[in-house]
Amino acid sequence: MGQWRAPGGILVEAIILDDRPLLRVSHRVNGRTYLRGYCKTVSELDEHGVDLGELVEAGPLDHL
């Protein structure tokens, strides 16, 4: 699945949850990861403070 990063520790991941495709938004602060929420569409990312213009695709090893 795809992963995208935004400034400030925001991570957006394309996932499957209960057989539904969703975007999971999380926020990394001081070494801890906090769930911000799930989105059904890209347009909902704004509700979680994600600016689409700032997203950068993350590689498979970027989360380590």
**Rounded distance between C-alpha atoms, residue 59 and residue 40, angstroms:** 23
Confidence band of 61 (pLDDT split at 50, 70, 90) = low
Please state the pTM of the whole predicted model.
0.85
pLDDT tens for 7-52 read 999 999 999 999 999 999 999 999 999 999 999 999 999 999 899 9
**Which SS3 state, helix, strand or coil, does residue 25 take?**
strand
